Amino acid sequence: MLYYNVSTMSNVPAAGEFFKRIRDTSSQAKRNIEQAQIVQKQQADRSRRCHSFKVDDMVYLTAKPINSTGYQVDHLKLFAR
């Protein structure tokens, strides 16, 4: 972020106030984005689980292609890992 010394940029007081408002608004927007990211991470972490697989564990894998073009297979298949 760029910071300017608004008192030396212009002899017009309104311009200095304008730049100060822009700087303050940008700082507030940055804080809001950071707070939103924290909340989004907390929400996403609620549905996540820690998986600990061992050799020869049986797991379910989806048969869906990662980058499908419209056709998707919704079947699950059991594979030995």
Which residues make beta-bridge pairs with 13?
Answer: none
Assigned token pair, 29? 């927007």
pLDDT, one tens digit per residue, over 58-70 is: 888 877 666 655 5
Distance CA 78, CA 11 (A): 74
Question: What does DSSP assign to residue 18?
Answer: H
Which residues make beta-bridge pairs with 80?
Answer: 58
**Cα-Cα end-to-end distance for the chain:** 49
* Amino acid letter, residue 66: I
What is residue 59's three-state secondary structure? strand
pLDDT, one tens digit per residue, over 19-61 is: 999 999 999 999 999 999 999 999 998 888 888 888 888 888 8
pTM over 0.75: no
